[in-house]
Structures are given as C-alpha cells and as structure tokens.
Amino acid sequence: MPKSKKKKNQDFQKVKLKVGKKLPKGDNVTNLSFKTRQIQLTQRIKDDGGQDTVTKKKLVIQDLLRQCDHHSSSARVNAISGLKELWLTNYADLMVPTNVHGYGEILKKLSTLLIDNEAIVRHSVINLFKLILTKLSSKTSGDKNSNRLEGRLYSHIHAYLCCAMNHVHEDIKLDALILFDTLLDSFPHLMVQQLETC
C-alpha cells in the first residue's frame, strides 16, 4: 500500500515565502562588521638596533654583504661601492669591537671576493681593503694592543690571499700581490709573525 502524502509532509516542511519578503536570520550568524579608530603618536618610535647606517639607496650592511654573493658582477660591484660609502661616512661605528656587522665581517666578505673572475670586482675589493687597512693601521699604531686584525680574522684573510696568489689565472695572482703589498705596508708585524709560524 502506498504511503500517504500527509506522513511524508510531517518529516520536512518547506517554508513557503511570499515574494519580496526577506529570509529570517538564523541563530548562528557571524557578525563581520568592525569599527576603526585613528590613533596619534606624539613621539616617533625608533627601533634601530645598530642598523642606523644606511647607504643612499637605503641599504644596510647585511643587505650589502648578501649582495656580494650575487651572480651578477655589476651587483657585486654595487654592493662593494655601498660598503665603501658606509665606511667613508661612518667608519667609527664600524670599528667598535661590539658591532656584529663591523669591519671584521666586511673584511671576511671582501677576502672571499679576492678570487672573483671579474677584474672590476677584484679592483674595487682591493681599493676598499686599502681604505679599511689604512684606517685600522692608523688606529693601532699608537697603542701596543694592536689586535684588530689578529686571530681568526687575519687567518681568514690570509687563507684567501694564499688561494688568490696560487690561482690559475695570472691576473688574479697579480691583484693578490697588490693586496699582499698593502698588508705588508699596514701590518708588517703580522706578516712577519705569519712567516715565523710557517
């Protein structure tokens, strides 16, 4: 026997709406409206964290050191010129021993570029090396505690200098000799100590 239509309608009742009437809102509707307010700061908040030295292109030392590893030689030259700009404008902050991104990090990165294939990169590296080494040697010549270049920093520079002096390409060897001559002029006692330990 077929089921009656009345029983079927008891399970589900379709709400019949009249045209033009809106649906009633359910109990679980999420309210997505929000309000905004304007705030005014009376003082400017400055969070420098030692990063206040920037170039004309608004680059900090970390960005420039990262760009020294770029695949494009023009980007590497631009990074070295940015480091030179920072050194010339604010070398006193870069020579502070507590500065994490000071002259030591710059010299380590520059020493890795001594064996670069592009001559323009090597020449700009050597020019910046000369600037930094002359400033370091003038700061340490007056006092006996001249350990600004000793230790791991000097061994790092010396290792890359030896690699450049023993390189296959002749022009890299000649550029390494220019830096060797600069190191001899700036820090002769370190060069003598290195020869005595060999």
In this prediction the pTM is 0.67
pLDDT tens for each residue of 29-81: 787 888 888 887 766 655 555 456 788 888 888 899 999 999 999 999 999 99
C-alpha distance from residue 117 to each of 108, 156, 173 (Å): 18, 20, 11
Has residue 144 got a pLDDT over 60?
no
CATH topology of domain 61-177: Leucine-rich Repeat Variant (1.25.10)
pLDDT of residue 45: 57
Going from N- to C-terminal start, the domains of the chain cover 61-177
Does 145 score more than 50 pLDDT?
no
Local structure of 117: helix, strand or coil: coil
- Phi, psi for 127 (deg, rounded to 5): -65, -40
| Helix, strand, coil share of the chain (percent; to 5) | 55, 0, 45
Question: H or E segment at 113?
Answer: none
**Cβ atoms 77, 120 nearer than 8 A:** yes
pLDDT value at position 30? 80
Burial 23-49 (b: 16+ CB within 10 A, else e): eeeeeeeeeeeeeeeeeeeeeeeeeee
Query: Which 3 state secondary structure label does DSSP give 193?
Result: helix
Instruction: Count helices and strands (H / E) in the chain.
Output: 8, 0
Residue with the bigger pLDDT between 94 and 3: it is 94
Q: E-strand spans in 118-178?
A: none
11: pLDDT strictly greater than 50: yes
Give the sign of the dihedral formed by CA 16, CA 22, CA 25, CA 29.
positive
pLDDT tens-digit map of 102-120: 888 889 999 999 999 999 9
- In the structure encoding, which two tokens stand for residue 54, read together? 């920037």
Average per-residue pLDDT for the chain: 81
At 117 the pLDDT is 93
In a 3-state reduction of DSSP, which class is residue 153?
helix
